[in-house]
A = this chain, B = another copy of it.
Amino acid sequence: MEVETEEKQPRSIGELVAIIEALIFVADEPLTVKILAEVLEEDRETIQSAVEELKQEYDERESGLQLREIAGGWQISTRTEFHEEVRRFLKTRPSAKLSLAALETLAVIAYKQPVTVPEILEIRGVQSASAIKTLLDKRLIIAKGRKETVGRPMQYGTSKDFLIQFGLKDLSELPSIEDFEDLVQ
């Protein structure tokens, strides 16, 4: 790692506390004093006291976040009092997000509709039952009557919600392979 070794201006303790907060915030895992000391090229005692100051700041602010010592490192997390609201939020937030399996199944249904479960299996080469359930739950697809063939399997197609979520006026607005070829040239 190249580090510009200009003459290091000493950081004020306030600045150090702020930088440590930023680093703990962006880190994927609890940050140890050791790592902080290395990254910031400060000695551990300085870091330790800065972290403690930050901790005290968090405790005094009556905020939604807390600074916790966990697994030997420091981490910012939501305060336990608000876990119910957080859980409810994570559960109910409207989401256009789909797993890859669901996205694949949706793509097949969008482009091949009306289409039956065996036909989707044929194209994807994998069972799609749980993906279809997810898509039905999210109201992105709907049943479109039975196919007049052996076993009269149910056919599926995309819903009105699908159009809304993907910002389409109607199905003719789905990009076609040709649209794409124009771009690839």
Contacts and interface: CB of A to CB of B under 8 A. Distances in A.
Interface of A: 1, 3, 14, 17-23, 25-27, 35, 39-40, 57, 61-65, 76, 78-79, 82, 85-86, 88-94, 117, 129-130, 132-133, 136, 142-146, 152, 154, 167-169, 172-173, 175, 179, 182-185
28 contacts: A1-B88, A1-B92, A17-B63, A18-B62, A18-B64, A18-B79, A19-B64, A19-B82, A21-B65, A22-B79, A23-B64, A23-B85, A25-B64, A26-B90, A39-B85, A39-B89, A39-B92, A39-B93, A40-B85, A129-B183, A129-B184, A130-B183, A136-B183, A142-B167, A143-B175, A146-B172, A146-B173, A152-B172
A43 B83 CA distance: 21
Question: What is the total number of copies of this protein in its complex?
Answer: 2
A145 B129 contact: no
A159 to B, nearest CB: 10
A23 B84 CA distance: 11
Contacts of A35: 93-94
Q: 6 smallest A-B Cβ distances: which pairs?
A: A22-B64, A21-B64, A18-B64, A22-B78, A133-B183, A22-B82
A132 B183 contact: yes
